[in-house]
Amino acid sequence: MPNQKILVLTEQFNNQSPLFDPLRSAGYEVVVNETGRLPTAEQLKAMLADNVVATIAGGEPYTPEVIATASSLKIIARWGVGYDQVNVPAATSAGIPLAMAFGENHESVAEYAHAMALSLACGIGRRDAMVKSGEWYFDGFHPGLWGRTAGLIGLGRIGGAMARRLIGQGMTVLVADPQLSQEAAADAGVKIVDLDTLLAQSDLVSIHAPSIPSTRHMMNDEAFAKMKPGAIIVNTSRGPLIDQAALLRALKSGRLGGAGLDVFEIEPLPENDPLREQSNVILSPHVSGMDRMAEELVTKRCINNILTWLHGNPSDLVPYVVNPETLSLKENTK
């Protein structure tokens, strides 16, 4: 009988990586996506049909149709913390737990968001380009961030890690988050405000909210018009939270001082997208959570989640699974 397979579908690994040795030692054939691209839904269907019992998932689409054809699939272990590309009800109906790597790369994402904000506020990108082009002159005072006000949309793990960095550099931190209690806000050293107040008072707005129907295009023309003139916006969360056409209008009008984007409505960002031409925009290819520490920690969590589900105690997965009802299904079959 052929070995059961585990697919590693993220874009950053190769088959030689020793990180997956625990899966090989457990008797599984590990197949790593080395194409540099995520599979489409049709490609994923074909891949999952070949005796695949688990995946370490990137951002490939687990649609109801994909899940319905994956007869051998027992668990999806998501490399990261977002799961908007997985149809959770379909996975739940199929008895497939969606296990996340919560708590492993939030510092990485926050550090990246902070770096984007600092680079924009200090004009590092444009000054680097100036000197490299052979020029040398004073191009005006940059706004900076210390002593100013930051607004965080969402204060989960990543938002909390961002808040610590901003407070450490002397910023006042406002937070708009309907789930945040006054006690938790006090512990984090932040102030709860409504979104309109946050937009009006913040020199930096950093987005750390999930991509759900109610947050789609929450940053639109109306929201940008409410922002403090010259403010900076950073998004390392999910692309659909920003209406990119509205963002472009706000940048071109001079309303915004700059934008740092690691995520986009369409990924990869189309080659002809006008955001690529804006000098006050920093763009990166959805990599904010991928520092060397996260590479090891997130991968180990995915592997542990898979092996725990296939060979261990399902209750150990409770902190990581977004559809915990699937765990009781397995418990009841023991």
Task: Out of 78, 165, 286, 301, pick the active-site residue.
Answer: 286
Distances (CA, A) of 115 to 68, 69, 89, 164, 224: 42, 42, 37, 14, 22
Residue identified by tokens 């380009």 is: 129
Structure tokens at 164: 């610590």
Task: Out of 165, 238, 295, 301, pick the active-site residue.
Answer: 238
267 in active site: yes
311 in active site: no
Question: Do the Cβ atoms of 189 and 167 come closer than 8 Å?
Answer: yes
Residue 200 CA to residue 40 CA, distance in Å, equals 41
Question: Do the Cβ atoms of 101 and 78 come closer than 8 Å?
Answer: yes
Task: Out of 267, 296, 325, 331, pick the active-site residue.
Answer: 267
CA dihedral 252, 253, 258, 264 (to 10 degrees): -50
286 in active site: yes
Structure tokens at 305: 């989640």
Minimal CA–CA distance to 149: which of 198, 218, 82? 198
Active site positions, annotated: 238, 267, 286
